[in-house]
Structure 1
Amino acid sequence: MSNIEDALYADPRLVGIYDLLNSGDSDFKFYLDRLGKENRRVLDLGCGTGTFALRLAAIGHAVVAVDPSPMMVNYAKHRPGSGSIEWIVGDALSPRIRKPFEVATMTGHAFQCLLVDNEMRATLRAVYAALGAGGRFMFETRNPTVQPWTTWNPVCSARSIQSEQYGPVDVFHQCNAVAEPLVEFETHYVFRRDNTRLLSRSKLRFMSAGELATELNAAGFRDIEWFGDWTGTPFHETSSAEIIAICHA
């Protein structure tokens, strides 16, 4: 049994099945609709395997894509269409990021990986500084009020995918500890072709919309639009699964 902290971002087998595990695109469509038809300069933070960055570039946006995982960035750089994108291993504070941008994005709940106040606040300040006047920061985080981690168990979260490279893979989550705002959980993977078993341990931070608003205002953002799902429904604290923020610089 491989036992790796955040193995999802370091093991080539898990990087290779990442897009299969995250195959929905309702979030991407939501953000693309709000970008509009005009080509823009976009900073894609926490780009992962580059799926959203590639979609942005394919329709004409100038994209700088950033992720702290060298393996994720390397995977993205070898995908078709990647040549027009500037790829950076790092985070929002990377000195290689050349501003200004018209839009900054952080998809895939990557914001929840900012676990401590200093890191989160430095990121928000850096994003605000990277945007030109009228720029927008678009991101999402899971709503802690609905306690999504209660379904992170072998019964509720179990699923299987079929990988062309690795064959069938069974996956489930197991929540281990809740000490709000932090939630610790494991993701278990069974590669059935050879019965390889991998374990990735992760930790996420959950913030309420009120807490987010306070931190965004402190970073300089003033006009914030709030949505609760990918159809554009307004955010409702007690029922919305997502906290989706469109923040204007």
Structure 2
Amino acid sequence: MPYSNPRLVRLYDVDNPDGADHDFFRELVNEVEAPRVVDLGCGTGTLTVTLAQPGREVLGIDPSEDMLDFARSRPGGDTVTWLEGTAAAIEPRSSDVVIMSGNVAMHILEDWPETLASIAAGLTERGVVAFEARNPEAAAWRNWSDTGSVRDTADGRLIESCSIEGPGITGRVVMHIRNEWPDDGDIVEVKQEPQFRSHQQILADLKRAGLTNVSTYRNWLREPFTGGPGQPLMVFVARKD
């Protein structure tokens, strides 16, 4: 599990701060006036806790219990129900909005069709799912290699390196990430495989799951996505049929 190491868990909030993406999801939830929200792949709960308010139930689901322990301990953590698991844990017709922020959707690999099916089944009538993905036409992976950058962290000086393989025929990029804290010699190596799916592929996947009323944006300002390498971000908002 990439974020089962305590040091990586503590770094997660630093590397994934609150920002325009979280504003987008908060505004969407408020517009829908959703009384029941699921943050799927919630991580340490930075966004999740801000969705909670009187009259709204928020469920944060993540496969990493270490991440969830951190989420529970953060301010506002007691306003959210936290659950270790995947989309399969969403009860049928239990949610008005399901969110997958960050690169969550890209890290769901073989289970992607089943995940969308579970989300669709978990949505109420006219329920909404919203998530982001990277446009493969922009080839973001070309900028991910790192031969050894250094930064200071709460656990001391950190040296990070990353080598890239791919993308393969399925669009998967294999990332070999090495984290070294030289002050005490701790080394954590992580392998991640984000999958780049085209706009058309994601639309087709959503349709198969019964989610055909789809809007795609190229940024967090809701400007329409039109494709091409100059639009690296794809933000999907789909309603259940």
The question of a shared fold, defined as TM-score above 0.5 by the shorter chain, is answered with yes
Q: Which of the numbers 150, 158, 170 marks the counterpart of 1:169?
A: 158
Distance in 2 between residues matched to 1:99 and 1:158, nearest whole Å: 46
**1:228 counterpart = 2:218:** yes
Q: Deviations over 1:131-190 (max 9, x none)?
A: 1111100001111111110001116x9463532xx1333434321332131110122223
The correspondence of residues 1-249 of structure 1 with structure 2, limited to 5 A, is 6=1, 8-36=2-30, 38=33, 40-57=35-52, 61-94=56-89, 97=91, 99-116=93-110, 119-154=111-146, 158=149, 160-163=151-154, 166-180=155-169, 181-238=171-228, 239-249=230-240
Distance in 1 between residues matched to 2:167 and 2:150, nearest whole Å: 23
| Runs of 4+ residues deviating >6 angstroms | none
Letter of the structure 2 residue corresponding to residue 80 of structure 1: P
- Structure 1 residues 229 and 171: CA distance shift in structure 2, 3 A: farther
Q: Deviations over 1:22-59 (max 9, x none)?
A: 12522101111222264521011001111111111157
On the 8 A contact 2:34/2:97 being kept in 1, the answer is no
Structure 2 stretches of 5 or more lacking a match?
none
On the 8 A contact 2:18/2:46 being kept in 1, the answer is no
- Structure 1 residues 159 and 224: CA distance shift in structure 2, 3 A: farther
Distance in 2 between residues matched to 1:126 and 1:67, nearest whole Å: 15
- Structure 1 residues 79 and 100: CA distance shift in structure 2, 3 A: same
TM-aligned CA deviation for residue 130 of structure 1: 0.8
On the 8 A contact 1:188/1:200 being kept in 2, the answer is yes
Aligned length: 237
Identity %: 27
Aligned Cα root-mean-square deviation (Å):
2.1
Letter of the structure 2 residue corresponding to residue 171 of structure 1: E
Distance in 2 between residues matched to 1:233 and 1:59, nearest whole Å: 31
On the 8 A contact 1:58/1:81 being kept in 2, the answer is no
Distance in 2 between residues matched to 1:192 and 1:231, nearest whole Å: 41
- Structure 1 residues 245 and 131: CA distance shift in structure 2, 3 A: same
**Please, what TM-score do these two structures have when normalized by structure 2?**
0.90
